Amino acid sequence: MTKQNKIIAELIKESDLYSFNNNKKYSTDQYYSYATPDFLAWVSKVENFIRTNYDENSGPHRMLDSVNQKKFSGYYQSEFETEFTKLKGAIKSCENLKANKKINENNYILSLIKNPFFWTVIVVLISASYKLGFDNGNSRFDNEKNELNKQNLELNDSIQKLNNLIKKQDSISKPKTQ
């Protein structure tokens, strides 16, 4: 017997402990359903087992969804028993059905790597970073180039002035021959 079958057997056996007779309350001359904490704990265990092991399209899961848990407290016996029978039927049907829900991976890194949205975001971020870096680098290079160009023009002007000054000096220092 597998672990899952043992759990199902325990839940079915535990369901025999509960009925309207031990989940009722007397009020205004008649009995109404009144869920005890133990009964609600059993309901919670059944719900957890089915939602953990069966997907939304499975019979046990659909049967569980059809159960109106509000009717476990404050309703007539017939309504309580109808919903209780549905719940018992849902867990009983699990005996003959294999669990069909995919187990979620606990490794978040692997699930992240398998997610196509993650890769889309990574590609967009890398592309944007490259583009921003490229543009920023070009603008810095252009600014530096402009500054160097300015300095070059100033230096060329200085050289031109010095050359003119030298030519004047040479023309003054050389006697004019006629």
What's the pTM? 0.56
- 83 and 146 share one domain: no
pLDDT value for 105: 54
As a whole number, mean pLDDT of residues 34-52 equals 90
Q: What is the DSSP letter of 56?
A: T
- 126 and 62 share one domain: no
- 38 and 112 share one domain: no
- 14 and 48 share one domain: yes
**Cβ atoms of 87 and 64 closer than 8 Å:** yes
- 113 and 89 share one domain: no
pLDDT value for 147: 86
As a whole number, mean pLDDT of residues 30-59 equals 89
- 115 and 88 share one domain: no
Domain termination residue (choose one: 93, 119, 136): 93
- 13 and 73 share one domain: yes
Rounded to whole angstroms, how far apart are CA atoms 168 and 174? 10
Could you tell me the pLDDT band of residue 38, with boundaries at 50, 70 and 90? Answer: very high
- 25 and 77 share one domain: yes
pLDDT digits (tens, 9 = 90+) for 99-151: 877 666 567 787 888 889 999 999 999 999 988 888 777 777 777 888 888 99
Looking at the domain assignment, is residue 127 inside a domain?
Answer: yes
Looking at the domain assignment, is residue 178 inside a domain?
Answer: no
Name the domain count of the chain. 2
Residue-averaged pLDDT of the chain? 86
Domain termination residue (choose one: 93, 126, 142): 93
Percent helix, percent strand, percent coil in the chain, to nearest 5 = 70, 5, 25
Domain termination residue (choose one: 35, 64, 93): 93
- 112 and 156 share one domain: yes
pLDDT digits (tens, 9 = 90+) for 70-99: 888 888 889 989 999 999 999 998 888 888
Looking at the domain assignment, is residue 85 inside a domain?
Answer: yes
H or E segment and range at residue 153: helix 116-173
Rounded to whole angstroms, how far apart are CA atoms 167 and 5? 109
Q: What is the DSSP letter of 28?
A: T
**Cβ atoms of 79 and 33 closer than 8 Å:** yes
- 36 and 80 share one domain: yes
Residue 52 has pLDDT above 60, yes or no: yes
Could you tell me the pLDDT band of residue 155, with boundaries at 50, 70 and 90? Answer: very high
pLDDT value for 120: 94
Looking at the domain assignment, is residue 65 inside a domain?
Answer: yes
Looking at the domain assignment, is residue 103 inside a domain?
Answer: no
Contacts of 160 (CB under 8 A, 6+ apart): none
- 80 and 135 share one domain: no
Percentage of residues of the chain with pLDDT beyond 90: 28
Could you tell me the pLDDT band of residue 178, with boundaries at 50, 70 and 90? Answer: low
- 87 and 112 share one domain: no
**Cβ atoms of 60 and 90 closer than 8 Å:** yes
Half-sphere exposure of residue 102, counting CA atoms within 13 Å on the CB side? 3
Could you tell me the pLDDT band of residue 58, with boundaries at 50, 70 and 90? Answer: confident
Domain that holds residue 81: 3-93
Residue 165 has pLDDT above 60, yes or no: yes
**Cβ atoms of 42 and 18 closer than 8 Å:** yes
